[in-house]
């Protein structure tokens, strides 16, 4: 949708240049009504816009030098399933049942949550672009098959978008999404991000290996999906300054960690904090973790 890109670019340029950009606090988590915006809100709001929502890295560079602090909960999920091996405590901790997940999404919707993408958060932080009220980012690590078969139908029913961070070396293997499923979930509005090729702890391997994992996972997904892939997730939450620089240099626009937190200070788009949701969490826990 070229027209929307023109509008978006115009909004970005105005925001980047105008004095209002530094005065306006677009943080909507506190309940403030976002400023009227045309491009971004139409662009990827509640999964309604299925057109590519990924900006070119060059476009975002327009915003260099501007960064806002934002309070947007980023919830971290893994499996949406009934844990198949009750004795597997790790698996149990990572598994949210479909019933519980559905109830959690009901609760978020009842609190007026609007799901946004990491890229929308980046625009808000870097450009001052407006966000919808009560923004939340829903993330799913590892690219498990139950994201496509179980989570996505529930997300779609709630008009929520989410990000799946995919381990590219696992695509099409048992328990992981196939290439076809990745395309299918994207076609209904979900976002695919990269989570390396082999799920290595990037701060603990050689810089050459870390860089290869970052660059090759991005390239594999882009070849499969046919567009830029700009969202990254550090396996095991393992990162350091060198790894962050590699992710940025590879052309990603943002990256999530496993560091707990709700707020995103300026210039932290490559070390975004998240709130973990696991098998032991009640609906009330989840609302509390999302500060809702």
Nearer to Zn ion, 38 or 89 (CB): 89
Nearer to Zn ion, 43 or 176 (CB): 176
Q: Is 281 in the site for Zn ion (CB under 5 A)?
A: no
Interface region with Zn ion, contact rule CB under 5 A, candidates 16-24, 133-141, 181-189, 210-218? 133-141
Q: Is 141 in the site for Zn ion (CB under 5 A)?
A: yes
Q: Provide the minimum distance between the beta carbon of 251 and Zn ion in the complex, in angstroms, as a whole number.
A: 21
50: left (phi over 0), alpha (psi -120 to 50) or beta: alpha
Nearer to Zn ion, 240 or 291 (CB): 240
Separation of alpha carbons 61 and 43, rounded Å: 19
In order of 8, 13, 261, the CA distances from 20 in angstroms are: 17, 12, 28
Q: Is 213 in the site for Zn ion (CB under 5 A)?
A: no
- 178-197 residues in contact with Zn ion (CB under 5 A) are none
Nearer to Zn ion, 131 or 166 (CB): 166
Interface region with Zn ion, contact rule CB under 5 A, candidates 126-134, 136-144, 223-231, 276-284? 136-144
Contact 29, 135 (CB under 8 A): yes
Q: Provide the minimum distance between the beta carbon of 212 and Zn ion in the complex, in angstroms, as a whole number.
A: 17
Across-strand partners of 77? 140
Q: Provide the minimum distance between the beta carbon of 272 and Zn ion in the complex, in angstroms, as a whole number.
A: 15
Interface region with Zn ion, contact rule CB under 5 A, candidates 125-133, 134-142, 155-163, 259-267? 134-142
State which residue has the least CB distance to Zn ion.
141
Contact 156, 47 (CB under 8 A): yes
Instruction: Find, among 284, 277, 243, the residue nearest to 258 by Cα.
Output: 277
Instruction: Find, among 24, 267, 262, the residue nearest to 134 by Cα.
Output: 262
- 217-256 residues in contact with Zn ion (CB under 5 A) are 235
The dihedral built from the CA positions of residue 178, 47, 67 and 74, taken in this order, carries a sign that is negative
Q: Provide the minimum distance between the beta carbon of 35 and Zn ion in the complex, in angstroms, as a whole number.
A: 36
Instruction: Find, among 75, 14, 16, 107, the residue nearest to 278 by Cα.
Output: 75
Residue 243: its H or E element? helix 241-249
Q: Is 142 in the site for Zn ion (CB under 5 A)?
A: yes
Chain contacts with Zn ion (rule: CB under 5 A):
141-142, 235
């Amino acid at each position: 949708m070229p027209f929307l890109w023109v509008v978006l670019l115009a909004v970005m340029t105005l925001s980047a240049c105008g004095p209002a950009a530094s005065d306006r606090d677009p943080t909507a988590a506190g309940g403030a009504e976002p400023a009227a915006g045309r491009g971004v809100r139409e662009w990827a709001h509640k999964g309604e816009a299925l057109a590519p929502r990924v900006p070119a890295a060059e476009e975002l560079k327009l915003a260099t030098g501007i960064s806002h602090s934002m309070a947007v909960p980023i919830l971290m999920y893994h499996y949406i399933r009934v844990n198949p091996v009750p004795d597997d405590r790790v698996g149990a901790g990572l598994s949210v049942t479909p019933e519980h997940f559905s109830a959690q999404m009901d609760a978020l919707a009842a609190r007026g949550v609007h799901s946004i993408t990491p890229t929308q958060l980046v625009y808000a932080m870097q450009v001052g672009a407006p966000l919808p009220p009560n923004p939340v980012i829903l993330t799913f690590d590892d690219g498990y098959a139950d994201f496509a078969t179980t989570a996505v139908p529930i997300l779609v029913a709630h008009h929520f978008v989410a990000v799946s961070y995919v381990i590219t070396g696992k695509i099409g293997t048992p328990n992981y999404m196939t290439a076809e499923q990745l395309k299918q979930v994207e076609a209904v509005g979900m976002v695919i991000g990269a989570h390396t090729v082999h799920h290595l702890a990037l701060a603990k391997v050689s810089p050459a290996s870390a860089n290869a994992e970052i660059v090759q996972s991005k390239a594999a997904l882009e070849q499969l999906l046919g567009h830029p892939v700009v969202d990254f997730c550090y396996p095991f939450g393992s990162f350091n300054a060198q790894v962050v620089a590699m992710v940025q240099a590879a052309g990603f626009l943002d990256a999530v960690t496993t560091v707990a937190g709700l707020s995103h200070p300026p210039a932290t788009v490559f070390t975004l904090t998240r709130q973990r949701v696991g098998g032991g969490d009640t609906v009330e826990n989840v609302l509390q973790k999302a500060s809702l």
